[in-house]
A and B are shown apart, each in its own frame.
Chain A
Amino acid sequence: MVWNQNASLVRPQNLYLVVCISFVFGVSSAFPDLSDKFCTFKVTFRNFRLILSWELKNHSVVPDRYTLRYTVISRPDQVKIVEHCSNTTASSCDLTDVWEVLPETYSIRVDGFRGNTTLVQCSSYLFLVTHMSLEPPEFDIVGFTDHINVLVKFPPVIPKILGGGVLKFYLSLIIEEQSGNIVKKHNPELNENITGNFTYVIDKLLPNTNYCVSVYFKPRNLGAVHRSPVKCILLQPGQETESSESAKIGGIITMFVIAAVIVITIIILKRVGYICLRNHFPKVLNFYNFSTWVFPEMPPLETVAFVEVIHVNRKKKVWDYNYDDESDSNDDTATPQTNAGGYTMHGLVGRLLGPASASSATPEDCMEPDAEEPDPSEPDTDIDTEPLVPSGPSPGQSEGTSGAYECRGKQLQDPITEEDSWSTGGSGDKITFNVNLSSVFMRVLDDDLEVPPGLPSFPEETYNLQESHRLETSSLAANGEGTQPLFPTPSAECQWPEDVLSDESDSSESDVDIGDGYIMR
């Protein structure tokens, strides 16, 4: 310091001058200026009050009274005494209403007395802008569910020394929020004319979490920062959260109770027998073979041979007592017709086996039909109830009836086995063709139609009498109704009476009155 270095040379002369000048001006300055050695001064803003405090370095010297004087360096005024800090026992003085200009430099002097003796004189000069220490303001915190209200206490009237925008531009209010190792700083904007308490809300906080809050001023001159004591609070879950959680829990419990009651009721009713629950799900709900369900296996390609059995209506011949040649009978026979599909259409003339027909057609090896054979006088019903291809016991059928048809099949075996294709030829009274009955769709045409529509072309197959018979018996059992007894299933043992077809075609024509249905396989 400059004046310290030169003080050793100038001090005796200046001391004399100071003493003389002080007597002239009436300034009581009995002791040299050695205040730096005895006192330490401190200027702080405590609760927005400008407090000047001092502390003696030599603790053995304890004055009982102090008097504070000051001078504003920029004003050539006399030294001023602070009246409320004259002969005070406190080692501090509130100068809020005394010093009103911040950028001033104040020269201060504190005289310590014991009785009438001046024990010590402390002098210093203070430039408040750089020497002022800002203590943190008082504050309170109120915790809620997810936010904290910080109440910073400001005086109702801001001191003049902090007016003029000093508080806003010189000081910066910082509110620190700490949770664990996470520290967040909030810098609320202060109004120039801020008065009264200031409330700041720290929001977006986590419930049921401990938060600590600290408040302090941060001077823009990069001076020392004095933090306030930390105040901590644990945020509790609010009533709204608790009620919503309890409502959710209650709702879940209620749903479980209702579901349990329903299940128990169903079980009881099932055991009692009041309701019957299916044990087996329908096939559509069987997800056992899910892949199969999603990607259904295509049925094996099987050759489908469509056979259209054309019913040729023949007029009932009325014997006109003409004994001419019987060449007319040839006209009535179904002549094979070819269509665009390559099939040779043969008209099958089916007849029902009545008692007379049965006796004439049945060979020695065949079984006799029972008395339940259909009556020829009722061709419609007989046809419906006596399928041409027996497939085992079915409603409306009897074993005897099936046996009669079986017999028919037997009679046909020999000529059929020798041929493996449609035979277009043959005698006029004989029609033989091979059909795979396992894939035959037969349709009985109406009386109006003599020529069926074009048939699809399918490869001809060899008709296996034995196998087809077994298949027929099994497949037609379920299709008892609507099946058309047009196509007999010959067995291996019996042979179709060749004469039966041609001779009895007349009677069979009128007897055949079948509907429009297909025999589906």
Chain B
Amino acid sequence: MSTKPDVIRKCLWPACLVGLLITGVLSLDCNLLHFHLRKVTWQNLRLLSSMSNSFPVECLREIKAFELPQEILSHTQPVKRYIVEAFYEMSIQAFNIFSQYTFKSTWENDYLKQIQIGLDQQLQYAERCLEEEEKEEDDSKEMEEDGINHSEATVPQLSNLELRRYFNRIDNFLKEKKYSHCAWEIIRVEIRRCFYYYFQKFAPLLRKK
């Protein structure tokens, strides 16, 4: 009589794992970039918001404008590749910054680890999608002239440089403030703002595609 619950129990865990695996596989599909971007963005926003529910008033005087790049995407084709590159650049820069977080609170460490794990997954996803994009471009390179390819190659570098400069400013701020509490609070808020800002910009472009 108790065979049914036992069977359900035995099958429940494998089913859940399979479901998570499928979800994970589907979410890593580069054709579902929009859904993956939205999922990752909201996940990071929740984690970064959970690390601190308030902003110390005393830190207001240490605020600095990091000049988030407003236009980092080239309006030439293909849009998806540039979005993936920008997404990759943001992920790797944020991962490097949070790797320097040395606050020793247990509560903070748990959230920090979750953020780092999430950023690492984003990096892997972006790398895989970029490899696919490069393969597609290699196939089409034989049909195009060299001049056009050269001009297309310069545009991504410019957009990625702006992002790199932005995150360099953040890193320099941390070093300047000697990784103080207020500096970390200000960086946490700034990176959270960066993630949502570009999600708000990328999402309409991906939906149109």
Say whether A and B bind each other: yes
B151 within 8 A of partner (CB): no
Question: By the criterion CB–CB under 8 Å, are A125 and B54 in contact?
Answer: yes
* Partner among B54, B186, B204 whose Cβ is within 8 Å of the Cβ of A124: B54
Q: Residue of B at shortest CB range from A17?
A: B58
B56 within 8 A of partner (CB): yes
Max chain A C-beta neighbours (<10 A), residue from B45, B186, B190, B196: B196
Q: Mark A74-97, 1 if CB is under 8 A from B, else 0.
A: 111001000000000000000000
B61 within 8 A of partner (CB): yes
Known: A3-B52, A33-B57. A103 touches B193 (CB 8 A): yes
CB distance from B108 to the nearest CB of A (A): 6
Which of B12-20, B63-71, B79-87 touches A? B63-71
The size class of the interface chain B forms with chain A is 35 or more
Question: By the criterion CB–CB under 8 Å, are B65 and A74 in contact?
Answer: yes
B60 within 8 A of partner (CB): yes
CB distance from A168 to the nearest CB of B (A): 8
Question: By the criterion CB–CB under 8 Å, are B63 and A18 in contact?
Answer: no
* Partner among A18, A123, A129 whose Cβ is within 8 Å of the Cβ of B196: A129
Q: Residue of B at shortest CB range from A169?
A: B203
* Partner among A71, A103, A165 whose Cβ is within 8 Å of the Cβ of B203: A165
Q: Residue of B at shortest CB range from A126?
A: B55
CA distance A291 to B189 in the complex (A): 97
Known: A3-B52, A169-B200. A71 touches B60 (CB 8 A): yes
Q: Mark A52-82, 1 if CB is under 8 A from B, else 0.
A: 0000000000000000000101111001000
How many Cβ-Cβ contacts under 8 Å join chain A to chain B? 95
Measured between beta carbons, the chain B residues less than 8 angstroms from A107 are 55, 57, 60
Interface residues of A in 88-147 (CB under 8 A from B): 102-105, 107, 109, 123-125, 127, 129-130
A1 within 8 A of partner (CB): yes
A14 within 8 A of partner (CB): yes
A319 within 8 A of partner (CB): no
CB distance from B92 to the nearest CB of A (A): 21
Question: By the criterion CB–CB under 8 Å, are B54 and A3 in contact?
Answer: yes
Measured between beta carbons, the chain A residues less than 8 angstroms from B52 are 1-3
* Partner among A33, A36, A73, A220 whose Cβ is within 8 Å of the Cβ of B38: A220
A164 within 8 A of partner (CB): yes
Q: Mark B178-198, 1 if CB is under 8 A from A, else 0.
A: 000100011001101100110
Question: By the criterion CB–CB under 8 Å, are B57 and A130 in contact?
Answer: no
CA distance A267 to B156 in the complex (A): 101
B10 within 8 A of partner (CB): no
The 26 listed contacts between A and B (C-beta, < 8 Å) are A1-B52, A3-B56, A21-B61, A25-B61, A36-B54, A73-B55, A73-B60, A73-B186, A74-B66, A74-B68, A74-B190, A75-B65, A76-B65, A102-B196, A102-B200, A103-B192, A104-B193, A105-B55, A105-B192, A107-B60, A130-B45, A165-B204, A169-B203, A169-B207, A220-B42, A222-B42
Other contacts beyond A102-B196, A127-B192, A165-B204: 17, CB < 8 A: A2-B51, A2-B105, A21-B61, A71-B63, A74-B189, A74-B190, A74-B193, A103-B196, A104-B193, A107-B60, A124-B54, A125-B54, A125-B55, A130-B45, A169-B204, A192-B204, A221-B45
Q: Name the 9 nearest CB pairs between A and B, nearest first.
A: A125-B55, A103-B196, A76-B63, A33-B57, A165-B204, A105-B189, A130-B49, A169-B203, A103-B193
